[in-house]
Each structure stands twice: as C-alpha cells, then as structure tokens.
Structure 1
Amino acid sequence: MSSRCDRQTKQEAKESFSLRETDRILCTVSPSHGFANWDGTPHNGVALLILGWAYVFSASLAERQNLSIEYRAIPHSESPSPSQAMVCLEYATPAERMWWKAVTAQGVAWSIAGNRGSPWTVHVKDIGLAIADASDDDGDGDGALPPPTARQAACYLARLCAVYRLGSQCPAALTAVVTFPLHASRSFRPTAPISLPLPRLPVRLDTFDMSRVDCPPPDEFSRLGYYMALSLSPRILGPSMWSIFWTPDVPCNLAGAWAQAAVSILKPILTDDVDMQLLAKVLSFTRAAPLWLGVALCGHGPVVKSILPYLTNLFAYPHTIPNMTAAAWTGLPTSFFDLSPRTPLVSRAVPRAQIWRLRHDFCAEYAEDQAFVKPPLHGWPPFGEMRIEDVELEIRDHVECEHRWAYQFWTWLLEDNITDSGFITRPSKPTQVRLLRPVTDASRQQEQEEEEELRPIPESDMDNIHKSSKRVTESIFQWSYTQVERGFGGTVVRRLPSRAMEKAHSPERSKHVNAAFIDAWREKIAQ
C-alpha cells in the first residue's frame, strides 16, 4: 500500500465456528466406490483411517477445552455379519485394538464426555469390516482401558499405515475428515450420509511384527489445529474449493460462458453412477485438489451433487460465496477482492474493480450503508471503468493508492483474545495451467481451429449462458447499487426490496431514473 495513505491496516468481518454439533456423519461403505484400488499397495484402509482421523479431530477439540473422550458400550466381536470381514490386528496392543474396535463399531462407540457431539462425530452404519479379539485377554471386558489421547490415536494411525504400507492413504483420509462439516451443512437431515471405499486388509500378517515399535504421529498431526479451524466453517472451506471454477480474468458479464466450459467437461462424469476417483483426477491440476480428493472419498453426496447446478445456473449457495478469510488462510483467491493489481490511470479513468475494492476497504466511511462490509456474492470482477469525478468523495482520495494487503493474523474472541498468525502467512500466486492439444502438423491444426469455430453452441446452452451471465452481473452491480455515473440517471440496477432507502452518497443522485435505458444496458452486456 502507499506509504502516504493513512490506511495501513484493515479488519475483516467476524467468522463464527460451531464446536458442538447434534448432526452426525452417517458412514457406510460401497464395493463400487471409485477408490477401490490405491496406487502402490494392494491394501485399502482408507475407511479405517477416515474413522480414526475423525476421532483424532474430536479428541484434540476435547483436549483444547479440558474435556475428555469416553467409550460407550463396545460389543465383543463374534462371528462377522455376511457383509463384514474379520481382521485381526495382531501387532496392536490391547489399548490400541480396543480403540480400533470403538472407531469401527456400528453406531457411536465414543463421544466427548457428557455426550457432547463434535463436528466430526461419526455414526457407523456398516463399514464391511470388524476387528477381531486377540487370542489373549485384552483386558477390555470391563472397559478399564481409557480412550487414547489425540496424539496416541494419531500414532495408532501411523502404525496401521506402516504395517500395511498404506502410503498416501493417511493424508488423503485426513482431507476427507476436513470436509465433514461441509457435508453436514449441505444435508437437510439430522445425519449427513457418506460412502467410503470398502476396506481390503488381510486377516493376518505372517511377517513385519511391529508390536514393540513406536511410530511417531503422521506429519499432518503437527498442523492439526489449522486443519480443524479450516474444517469448522463451511463458509471458509467451501469458497476455497469452489475457487477452482472462478478466474480473475473473466468479467462478470462473461461468467456464464466461462462456467459452461466447465459444465461440458464435468457433465459426462457427474452422472448417477459417477466415478469419484475420475472426478478427483480431473480436478487434480487445481490447487484445491486435496480438498476435492477428500470430498470424492466421501462418495456421491450433496456436495458433489451441487457442482453441476452451481455451474449451470451460477446461483450463490452459502458454501460458494467468496470469503476473504478463506483466501487468507488457504492462499486460494476466491474473488477479485483478493487480488490488488496496480492499474495506472488512463485519461482520468479508474477500473470499476478497483473502486469496488476501495468501497470495501473503506466501508466504515459510509455511515449510512453497510452493504460494502462483505464482498459480493460472486467473485467475477465488474467490467469497465469510471471517471474519477464520478467516484464518491468517501474514497476519491484513494483511487491512486496502491493497496496491496498482506495477511497478518486473526484473533480468537475468547476470554483471553489470542492472536494466531495462521498456517499461510504469504499467499502464493495461483498456478497457471495451459492444456496443449496434440497436433500432427500445421495444416491439421488449422483444420481443427476451423472446425471449432464452426461448431454451433446448442440453443439451450446459449440460453443458460445468457441467464447465468445476467444473474452474476446484476449481483455484482447490486452490491454497489448506490453508484452514479455519467450516462446513468440513477442506480445501475434496481435496489433490493430488503434494503432501506438510504440517502445517496456523493456525487448527488439524480431524481429521474431512466428505467428503460438501464434494462436495455443490462440485456446488452449480459451475453
């Protein structure tokens, strides 16, 4: 930012986190899940690792609040049901084996003391696998062994991965648990269903005994607090994921055309029998790929089902609305508000996107209007420029300032306000990816280009493109509906009915609004 500007810091809106949830994740497994096979190992323990990480998250939350985890009634393993395979973890200690029986038992076999639910509580319906009792006495018949701490449970996960050589399945399982609150937010039922890959582990291992080997917790455990904070708010996690469907170089009036290209790629994949592994691979080139992998591991649920409706219509869902905290925490820009390119003034004109950012940065200067506190409902930038003399007085002195904000910290509003520098203190630039089409020679390339130019866009797609672009454009300009410019007799878009009729900001608003001109302008640009 400019050194001569008196605005050196800014504070974003508060975020709410729910630490107690009555809704639970309802877990089943599917033999037709896309992740049946995992590269580098014949074994598949993703479902167990996901259930284990869910415990680790909840146990860590309890420990941070000076609470504890307690077991409920854990049934002894008898003959497995027809849908279950029996696995004997011979390497495990009695406490370790008892814990695995608890996290895989049907129902809810553990909880935070006082029957307090956590955002990662799992109700197991059937995972197709049961943990067998050891030949010796575990000593768990009377429930004397206490549940492990979060760190101890994380070490149990590491031991399972080491014994069965599960490799990258452990961090992948963690990303699935991170998305649990997002799944719950998209469900209208008390439980949010997820479907995991069917476990495939040998009943016994003849070699590689680790009964006396201590494994450190997985590397991801050292950053557990960050993953928990990111997971707790779907309004932060969701925009970070949906940022892959947005780009800062596309103006709002072309958003429909941009989204339609993504629809044409994803629609053949997102069928009723969607291959979740293929979906994860298609999105693997994006910087949000780990989060989408976590969603894909949870099966064809409401989150996946919301992709096509969003891209087709560009309605603003709660988990898709840009969030500046999300951009700061993850380094994934979700809106043109998250970027501050320096644009030199040309002929006394200022890009509208720059004016929109200033209105947010200096929202406190607008005493009668709170609309600028949060970003617009979509991330695509407004097109065009404004004359400096049309810019309101509240921000006119800042149009030439270089406001390049750098994330510093957030503050937990507890009894003792604690500042936290976060996980990413310097967001990196988004990755630029070009997909090159193989061409045999120059003549063939020219033929392909001509074919693409002549290929008509279906009328239904053109209609969706137009409607979506119009919807986004109106949303972007509705956010700044009080603006007045030369050529417009009043506001660019109609006011929302819920908004109060505030007094206009400077320059003075005209009392005569040419509604027909405004409607014609909107129809013309939203193409």
Structure 2
Amino acid sequence: MPAHLILGVQSSLTVQISDSAPMAEWPGVQGILGHDEGNYLTVLFLAWAYILSARWAELLKSASDCKIKFTTENVASFMVPSHQYAAEIDLGYHAGKDEAGWWAVILSSGGCRHITADYNQKIYLSPWSVTISDTSRIGVMGDPSVAGIELPSSSTALAYLARFCSRHRLYGQCSAALAAVLYVPFLSGRLVSLPMPKQVQRSQSPAISAQPDKDIIGEHGRLLPYYMTLSSNVWGMRSLLFSTFFNADIECNLVSAWLNPAFAIIDPLLEANDLPMLAKVLANREPKFSSLWLGAIITDIAKITLRDIRTGLTALDLNAAAWTGTVQSFIALKPGLSDGITIRREDECRLLFITGCDGFIRVPIYPWKPFGATLLYDTEPQVRQHACCGCHCLEYHSWNWVLANGEELEDLGIDLTSDNENGLNTHVPERYPSAQHDLKLFSESLSEAATRGIFSWLRSTGYPANEKPIYQHSWIDIESSDDECVDDVESGTIEVTGSQEFIDEWLSKVD
C-alpha cells in the first residue's frame, strides 16, 4: 500500500520553555531510584532533534541530486549574553571545545537550522528541525566559545548525549524526550511549550551509569532510521495513538459501551491536568505505545487526540500498524469460514476489500466490525467465490522505497519484541480515580457513528431486501426513495430469489 512520508520541510518547529508546560514536574520512573532527578526534558529534546536532523542529512548524502550542508557560518550571531538566557545548564564534566560548543549551539538556537539539503533548487530543513524562541534560550555554564567549532555527526552527537545522560543519571527522561521529538513532523512548524530545565547539582565524583539495565542510548541509535520512518508518517503516528482504544472483538453497535467507561476515567484526569496518572492509564492499556503517549503528553498532542477519539473520529494506517505489529481495524484480521449459506458481514467486508471489488478498493476508515451475517446469494460474486476459503487476508511482507529513477529498495524491517519482553510490569495495582458518572456514560453517539459509517461502506451499492430493519433503523435511515424501490421489489411485482436473479430479470426486459 502506498504511503507518502515527509522527507523535508521549509520551516522549523519553534520551542519555548515554560514553568506551566506539560510535565514541568518530572514524576520519576517506577522501580528506578537515583535517576532522572530534576527536569532535563527540554535539553534532551533539543539534543535528539539535532541527532535526528544530522542522521537525516547523512542518509540523504547518497542521493546524487541532493546536496547536504553542515554549516557553522553565523553561529555566533545566534548567541546572546549570558544574562539574557532563560536558564543555564552545567554540563557537569570537562568537555572539549567542539562538544561544549555543540551544546551551546543547540541550547541557544536549536542547531538544526545549520543542517540543510538543496533539492530542485530549494533549500530544505529536516522534518525534525527546531528553533528556540528568543525568550527561551538556554545557556551553558562557563559560556563556551562556538567560534570555529565543527558540528558533529549523528554518532558523535549520540556520544555527547550519552556522556551527559551518564553524568546526570538520566534514563527515563532520555527516552521520553526522544518520543517527544518524533512528534515534531506532526506539529508541522508550529510552536511547542516544553518544561523549564531544573538542574540537580551533583558532586564531581565519577558518575553512576544512567542505564541501569542496558545501553539505552546505543539501542536508540541503532533504531534511529526506523524511528525516523515512523515519525515522518504523520498520519501513521496519529493512528498508533488511536489504536490504543481499538478492540477487535467489539462490534460497531457496541462502541459506546466499550469507550464510554474508558473516558469516564480519562475525562476527570484531563480536567484535573493529572498528566502522570493519564500516562499510567494509557500505558497500562497498551504498554508498547507507552513512550509514544508520553511523547504526545509532553508535546501537548495527547489532549487533542483524546478529544478526537472521544467524539468518534478515527485514524487508520495499515502500514504503521504492520510496522508496529498492532491491529487497528477488523479489516486486517484473518477471515472465518462461511457455512455455505451465510457469511459474517465482517468477512464480507474483508473479501470485498481484498478482492478489489468495484467501489471497495479503499480500506474502510471505520475500524469497528459490522454485526451479523449476510446471505451468500446477496453478496458480490467475488465474495461468493472465496467465502469458503478462510485464508485470504492481509499479511505484511516489506516496505519498498520508490526511488527517483523508478527503482525500488526493499526494506524488510526489524524483528518486533513481543509485549511480554518489553520489561514493563503492567500488573502493579494502580489506584485510579473514581469514574465520572454523567449522561455521557449512557450516550450511544459513538455506536451510532460507527454503525452508520461501516454500513455506508459495506452497502455503498445498496442494501439487500432482507436488511430492511437495518437500513430503516434511525442510526442509518437511508432516503425514503430507496425504501420505495425496495418495497416495489418486496410487493411481488418481480419475484426475487437473489440479487443475481433480479439483475437477469431486469436485463431480459431491456431492448
């Protein structure tokens, strides 16, 4: 399935720092003591934004018609006197000129504006390019010189970041900041408010490793190209958040009963701005996306996304679902077997899409499966042909990059880690706030929208006569003119034993 990724932009995301930004008080990581004290999210965010931008430039170097430029020209012009900085960070160790200068550049200007690509006579920035607002610049203690420094490669910048995190014992914040950076393309050049840095002073004794279990920064570095591919698929990122609330067992007419209780818990957390508890609730529902939700909370995307889910909006991206080993829609599941008389409507939908029947070449945007079954003689010929196969389904094989010369590069991806290997303890009992009991809990609006949506897709060419109770239901209620047409058929003017017989009868009367 084709997908378009963002490979370059012409405007940066603007970062401002604030004491009232989301996660201004870092809640800590359960089970990890002595780490992530203070708040370095903004510092780490700016470092990761540079690293992804540098890696972007390195990957584009292989394109013959794309010129990459790392420049330190006018770097000094972005620096300001130390008394004008909104905050100041002590690296906490002796850093060389290039390393200290790099930190000074990215914290005072973002640094990404110095990495550009020239393509088709246009200058592009990386999708993760950020700049610092004039009132939010961060200084480095000692005011290191930036004159004549060399901007580092992504691997060198990763080493700088690893040393900083080791010195300050940063573990959870490092991964959280990376997750937040993945939403920079999502924010599309707008403004994001990040927490004011709060530094914890440490002694000059040798630092304890910030990775209590493994080299987390090295692992992130190995996976950077995959993170970047996912991040540049903006709709795919959105779909992963939406998929947290998807349950393949829920039929379209029961969506309200499934989602309303969840939001009876979530809505009070949003009203109270209890973001740490919100992150726990969402992480316990889908642990593999806990980091993505944390990144969405830090960048203030989570509230908007949850509002959209609450009102019944959907986001579906089968590529992103396959990349992450998740299910976002019933359409991607393996069909069952027909009994030769009827076929489940969900299987009918799958076969209509997979076989590419006229009018069904686009995947339904409604993820919830339709209820009930259809008589086989009322289905399309392609459905009848494959109804008893029970094997036709969507299976992910690979991602192919289509090059400018028409050639393709196949990317088989990476092995996915199963949920029980992700190291998260999801069985720790949590004391969630009491559910909010109000009229929203009993609303059927989500079920109504989901039912009308999937049946509009499934019956876009018309309803069988025996589905009159469905199309006359108030949730669907097709136009009365359609009812009259079906009533004529049912009145006995034409004896109908199936859609094919009706068509043959009609064709025989055409001169």
* Structure 2: gaps (5+ residues): 62-67, 209-214, 480-497, 505-511
Q: Whole-Å Cα distance in 2 between the matches of residues 335 and 226 of structure 1? A: 23
Q: Whole-Å Cα distance in 1 between the matches of residues 312 and 420 of structure 2? A: 25
Contact conserved, 2:316 with 2:367, CA < 8 A, in 1? Answer: yes
Q: Whole-Å Cα distance in 2 between the matches of residues 49 and 93 of structure 1? A: 19
State the partner residue of 1:442: none
Q: Whole-Å Cα distance in 1 between the matches of residues 110 and 47 of structure 2? A: 15
Q: CA deviation at 1:96?
A: 0.9
* Residue 327 (str. 1) matches residue 321 (str. 2): yes
The amino acid of 1:474's aligned partner reads R
SS in 2 for 1:28: strand
The one-character-per-residue Cα deviations of 1:462-510 (angstroms, maximum 9, x if unpaired) are: 3xx3222211111111112225434147995659xxxxxxxxx964778
Q: Whole-Å Cα distance in 2 between the matches of residues 201 and 426 of structure 1? A: 34
Q: Whole-Å Cα distance in 1 between the matches of residues 393 and 306 of structure 2? A: 34
Label 1:121 to 1:472 Cα distance change in 2 as closer, same or farther (>3 A). Answer: same
State the partner residue of 1:410: 399
Q: Whole-Å Cα distance in 2 between the matches of residues 249 and 73 of structure 1? A: 56
Q: Whole-Å Cα distance in 1 between the matches of residues 115 and 430 of structure 2? A: 54
State the partner residue of 1:91: 94
SS in 2 for 1:327: helix
Label 1:252 to 1:510 Cα distance change in 2 as closer, same or farther (>3 A). Answer: farther
The one-character-per-residue Cα deviations of 1:184-208 (angstroms, maximum 9, x if unpaired) are: 3xxxxxx422222322225675233
Q: Whole-Å Cα distance in 2 between the matches of residues 96 and 508 of structure 1? A: 78
State the partner residue of 1:306: 304
State the partner residue of 2:483: none
State the partner residue of 2:275: 276
Q: Whole-Å Cα distance in 1 between the matches of residues 165 and 177 of structure 2? A: 11
Contact conserved, 1:53 with 1:173, CA < 8 A, in 2? Answer: yes
Q: CA deviation at 1:381?
A: 0.4
TM-score (norm 1): 0.75
Q: CA deviation at 1:94?
A: 0.9
Q: CA deviation at 1:261?
A: 1.4
SS in 2 for 1:130: strand
Label 1:458 to 1:509 Cα distance change in 2 as closer, same or farther (>3 A). Answer: farther
Label 1:435 to 1:100 Cα distance change in 2 as closer, same or farther (>3 A). Answer: closer
Task: Within 5 Å, give how 1:75-474 maps onto structure 2.
Answer: 75-76=78-79, 78-81=81-84, 83-106=86-109, 110-113=113-116, 115-125=123-133, 126-127=135-136, 129-133=138-142, 138=145, 140-141=146-147, 144-184=148-188, 191-202=189-200, 205-208=203-206, 218-271=218-271, 274-285=273-284, 286=286, 287-298=288-299, 301=300, 303-315=301-313, 320-340=314-334, 343-346=336-339, 348-363=341-356, 365-366=357-358, 369=359, 372-401=360-389, 402-414=391-403, 415=405, 416-424=407-415, 458-459=438-439, 461-462=441-442, 465-474=443-452
Q: Whole-Å Cα distance in 1 between the matches of residues 8 and 363 of structure 2? A: 28
Q: CA deviation at 1:391?
A: 1.7
Contact conserved, 2:89 with 2:140, CA < 8 A, in 1? Answer: yes
State the partner residue of 1:73: 75
SS in 1 for 2:386: coil
The one-character-per-residue Cα deviations of 1:337-369 (angstroms, maximum 9, x if unpaired) are: 1222x5343472211111101111111x53xx3
State the partner residue of 1:479: 457
State the partner residue of 1:443: none
SS in 1 for 2:15: strand
The one-character-per-residue Cα deviations of 1:104-157 (angstroms, maximum 9, x if unpaired) are: 11466633235522211112125573113467xx5x32xx22211111111111
Q: Whole-Å Cα distance in 1 between the matches of residues 143 and 124 of structure 2? A: 31
Q: Whole-Å Cα distance in 1 between the matches of residues 501 and 320 of structure 2? A: 36
* Residue 55 (str. 1) matches residue 58 (str. 2): no
* Structure 1: gaps (5+ residues): 1-11, 185-190, 439-451, 496-504, 512-527
The one-character-per-residue Cα deviations of 1:260-304 (angstroms, maximum 9, x if unpaired) are: 112211111112x62332221221111321110111122xx3x22
Q: Whole-Å Cα distance in 1 between the matches of residues 427 and 448 of structure 2? A: 28
Q: Whole-Å Cα distance in 2 between the matches of residues 77 and 347 of structure 1? A: 77
Q: Whole-Å Cα distance in 2 between the matches of residues 17 and 117 of structure 1? A: 15
The amino acid of 1:403's aligned partner reads H
Identity of aligned residues (%): 26
The amino acid of 1:119's aligned partner reads P
Greater shift after overlay, 20-29 or 353-362?
20-29
The amino acid of 2:131's aligned partner reads H
Which one of the candidate residues 39, 45, 51 is aligned to 1:44? 39
Contact conserved, 2:50 with 2:110, CA < 8 A, in 1? Answer: no
Q: CA deviation at 1:242?
A: 0.9
The amino acid of 1:275's aligned partner reads D
Label 1:347 to 1:412 Cα distance change in 2 as closer, same or farther (>3 A). Answer: closer
Q: Whole-Å Cα distance in 2 between the matches of residues 206 and 393 of structure 1? A: 76
Q: CA deviation at 1:408?
A: 1.3
Q: CA deviation at 1:23?
A: 4.0
Q: Whole-Å Cα distance in 2 between the matches of residues 259 and 130 of structure 1? A: 46
Q: Whole-Å Cα distance in 1 between the matches of residues 80 and 89 of structure 2? A: 9
The one-character-per-residue Cα deviations of 1:24-72 (angstroms, maximum 9, x if unpaired) are: 3221223344352334332332211111111111111111111233234
Contact conserved, 1:54 with 1:120, CA < 8 A, in 2? Answer: yes
Greater shift after overlay, 402-411 or 69-78?
69-78
Q: Whole-Å Cα distance in 1 between the matches of residues 80 and 347 of structure 2? A: 64
Greater shift after overlay, 236-245 or 164-173?
164-173
Label 1:102 to 1:398 Cα distance change in 2 as closer, same or farther (>3 A). Answer: same
